[in-house]
Every structure is written in structure tokens, then in C-alpha cells.
Amino acid sequence: MARPTGGTRRPQTRPQQPKASQGDDLPGLAGKPGFAARKVAADILGNVVHKRHAIDAELDLTSGHSGFRALAPNDRALVRAIVGGSLRHRGEIAAILDRLLDRKIPEKTGRVVDILHIAITQMLYLDIPDSAAVNLAVDHAGADRRAKPYKGLVNGVLRRLGRERDEMTADLDGVRLNTPDWLFESWTETYGAETARAIAEAHSKEAAVDLSIKDDAAGWATRVGGTLVGNRSVRLGEKAIIDQLDGYAEGAWWVQDAAAALPARLLGDIAGKSVADLCAAPGGKTLQLAAAGAKVTAVDISRSRLKRVSDNLARTGMTAEIVAADLKTWEPKAPFDAILLDAPCGATGTIRRHPDLPWIKQAYDIGKLAEIQTELLDRALTWLKPGGLLVYCTCSLQPEEGEAQIAALLERNPAVSLEPVTAEDLGGLTTSISPEGYLRSLPHHPATADGSLTGLDGFFAARLRKN
């Protein structure tokens, strides 16, 4: 289930200071420069790692964390950077704290641990002076009723880190520490130790921004100062305000990782054909199918997420039938010429964009999702015309959600055959073709045929023919 697509400008609330949470003593601190942003960052980090809230939900400007929504834009950007860095380096920071602390901090101590993680992120991984990070962390601990008894500990630990940072960070294997055991062991078993490390290392860096182009990708690469990558995608060279880029208003492109754009292209020439995009939101693949001239039916269970699909269709001047329905009970009016099933999955291939995923997912989540994928795959094949193509894809690195899923399907359904992916299908990205003929992109894979740029979302896709 691919998560990124770009898009629409959302209404912003008027900046105001966030309300104090229960038990906080904020008088005199709420207006202190930088305090509100650090407090919100610690709150959001805690919600992600302790309550398993998705970071996207916390940072949503319409329905996310109230304190975050109340911040000025520059402070919101700071919060994103701090929380993102805290999650990418979570294992390293925990190891550093083990070296700094004589004993573990007890539970029920407010945000002490989260405050320390936020401060250490600033000190080690962001361009923020130690003094600012330490002083604001101490203020925050002092303002939290349950954390207040540990104010001195926060001060001492952080100042010691400032003095002994080289010693405290020496010999840390960040690549390994920042990946939970269940994930790293899974990747090692599936891809081998060397590739598992390469995947984990790729996750330590933010993903680039890729655009899917409606027409003339090479021309738009020049216009936006990007590079042609994958198969008709453009990678931006530096961060930009998306809705202010050339071509946004006229709907010439949309944000979509180069790997996420590949599965739809495996359907080939679909002009004039009826095509279903199942689990369609947030809509990048729907836009691709519509741009290719298909008669698209976009189905998703979430009405709110489908609103984003509709908005992007309107911006790009394209059309599709939008259906809000549960695929477990929905039935189409007629069979389709082709189907794209972007199944719900663990999304472990998108950790570069969503650094919360390793800390909010567990191994058992993958098993539950695999059961849903099997059910949806079997149902979707009944909606396909004889001779039609179905592309099954997931933005997951887990074999249970990819290779194993298709192997089991081919064994139980002799009416389905695999049509191997070719280098031509992927714009020459041969590294991302498995020996079986699947699309299997990994986060460290080349994004250009010549290997000059690397970095793709981890995607699996299989092209199936209904015989």
C-alpha cells in the first residue's frame, strides 16, 4: 500500500501557543523561543513510540496533534526534523543513554525519556547548539509534574554528553542499532547479511522527492531542475515547496516515488480499456492509469483518503470513477480488462519516508496483513476478464507480502500464470528484477539505468495473466 503522493494545499490554522497538558507548569515558558516546538516534538515522539500512533497522523494539519497545528510554519518544520531524526536514530540514542545512565529511568516519569531523545537528536544529528538543546530540555522536564524530580538528571546527562560525545558515540553500529531485531533478522534471512545492512543504511537517509509526469518527462526534468529516473519519473535535486513548483497548478505532474510508479506501467498499453485501481488512495496510480488513457475505477475503503484522489484528479484535469467500498464485500458491475491491486501491507519499503514504521509495527502485523492480501487477491482475480492482466503490488520488503504470496497463488490457482517483468518495463532498472521475474526494488537500488542515482522505495510487484 503506497503512501506518498503529492498534492493539494491544505488550510492552515492561525498560529497560537499550544495549551498546556495536564500537570504541566508552563507559565513563563510557553512564550520562550523554541520551547513550544520542543515540547510538541517530545509529545509526538511519545505518541508514536509508546502508543503506536502513525507520525503522518500526528503531523496532519487538519486532524493531527493540536499543539503541532498551532505552531508557526517554521516551528512545524523544526518539529518534523527533530521527530524524524529521533526516529531514524532511535536505536543509537538508546545505546548512548545506556552509556550515560547508571540505571534505567523508572516508568511513570512523564516525558523524561522522550525529552532526552529529543535533546540528543538536536545535539548529535541537527545543526542546533548544545546549549539550546540542553536548556530547553531542562525547562521541559521542570515543567512536567511527573518529570520534575528528574530535572537534575536531564541536565547532568546532557551536559556530560556534550563533554564526552566522542567517547559516548564511539564504536556504535548505527545501521544495526536503528533497526529492530525482528526486521533486521527478516531481511538477513531473505536477502543475506550484506543486503540487509545496505537496506538499513538506506533507511538512515531521507528519501528524495520524485514526480510522476503526465507527459514529456525529459522536458519537465529540465524545467524543474531534476533528473530523469526510473521509468518516466523526475527526481528533484533539492527540497522545494511542492505547490509552488512549475507545473503544479496546471496539473502536469504529481509526487510519487519512482518505484511506486513502476507497478502501473506493468499493465502495458491500457488506452481505452477498463482498469480497476484497488486500494487506490492516495491516488498516484489512479492518476497514472488515467493519464495512460484507461477508463479507471478507483476503489478504496477510506472516504477521507479518496477525497485526496478526487482533488488530484481535478488538479490534473483527469477523470476516474471513485468508489468508497470494502473490497471484501464489494462487487463490480462488470469484469475489468486489467486490475492493479496495491494491497494493504506493512509498508516496510517506505521507512525512508516513514521512520516511525519500525517502531509501530511488529512481526505479527505482517502475518495479519498477509491473510488480508490473500483474500483480496483471490477476489480481485474473479473480477478480471479472461486473458486480462492483474498486477499485484505491495510497498513491503517482507517476502510474506510478496514472493510467498504469489508462489502460493500460482500453486492453488492453475488458471493464473506469471508474466515476468522485463528491463524495458522498468526503464532499464535491471537490478530491481528478481530471478523469478518479479519487480523487487530495494531502498539502496539504482534509480537510474546508469547507476548515477540510488534510492527507491522497497516495492514488490507481480504481473499475472488470467488464462
Q: Which of 395, 406, 447, 456 is catalytic?
A: 395
Does residue 173 surpass a pLDDT of 70?
Answer: yes
Q: Is 279 annotated as a binding residue?
A: yes
Does residue 206 surpass a pLDDT of 60?
Answer: yes
pLDDT of res. 299: 98
pLDDT of res. 312: 95
pLDDT confidence of 13, banded at 50, 70, 90? Answer: very low
pLDDT of res. 154: 96
Query: Which of 6-10, 82-86, 114-118, 244-248 has the weakest average pLDDT?
Result: 6-10
Mapped onto helix, strand or coil, the DSSP state of residue 208 is coil
Whole-number Å distance between alpha carbons of 376 and 292:
25
- State the Cα angle at 259 between 240 and 203, rounded to 5°: 70
CB 366 within 8 A of CB 401: yes
pLDDT of res. 218: 93
Q: Which of 286, 304, 284, 303 is nearest to 295 (CA)?
A: 286
CB 401 within 8 A of CB 394: yes
Q: Is 378 annotated as a binding residue?
A: no
Does residue 7 surpass a pLDDT of 70?
Answer: no
C-alpha distances in Å from residue 10, one per residue of 3, 78, 280, 380, 394 = 17, 19, 20, 34, 28
Whole-number Å distance between alpha carbons of 382 and 451:
40
pLDDT of res. 225: 93
395 is catalytic: yes
Does residue 22 surpass a pLDDT of 50?
Answer: no
pLDDT of res. 359: 96
pLDDT confidence of 276, banded at 50, 70, 90? Answer: very high
Does residue 10 surpass a pLDDT of 80?
Answer: no
Which residues are 391's β-sheet partners?
Answer: 340, 463
Burial degree of 126 (CB within 10 A; 0-12, 13-18, 19+): middle
Q: Which of 127, 313, 143, 146 is nearest to 214 (CA)?
A: 313
Q: What residues contact residue 420 under an 8 Å CB cut-off, 6+ apart?
A: 433, 436, 437, 438, 463
Q: Is 202 annotated as a binding residue?
A: no
Assigned C-alpha cell, 329: 464485500
Per-residue pLDDT reduced to its tens digit, 126-163: 999 999 999 999 999 999 889 999 999 999 999 999 99
Per-residue pLDDT reduced to its tens digit, 336-372: 999 999 999 999 999 999 999 999 999 999 999 999 9
The better pLDDT of the pair 116, 144 is held by 116
Does residue 16 surpass a pLDDT of 70?
Answer: no
pTM to 2 decimal places: 0.90
pLDDT of res. 109: 79
Q: Is 281 annotated as a binding residue?
A: yes
pLDDT of res. 26: 53
Q: Is 326 annotated as a binding residue?
A: yes
Whole-number Å distance between alpha carbons of 334 and 382:
11
Q: Is 25 annotated as a binding residue?
A: no
pLDDT of res. 28: 56
Mapped onto helix, strand or coil, the DSSP state of residue 412 is helix
Does residue 281 surpass a pLDDT of 90?
Answer: yes
pLDDT of res. 29: 63
Q: What is the mean pLDDT of the chain?
A: 92
Whole-number Å distance between alpha carbons of 96 and 117:
10
Q: Is 127 annotated as a binding residue?
A: no
pLDDT of res. 8: 32
Whole-number Å distance between alpha carbons of 129 and 158:
12
Q: Is 283 annotated as a binding residue?
A: yes
Per-residue pLDDT reduced to its tens digit, 194-203: 999 999 999 9
Q: What percent of the chain clears pLDDT 90, i.e. is strictly above it?
A: 88
CB 162 within 8 A of CB 130: yes
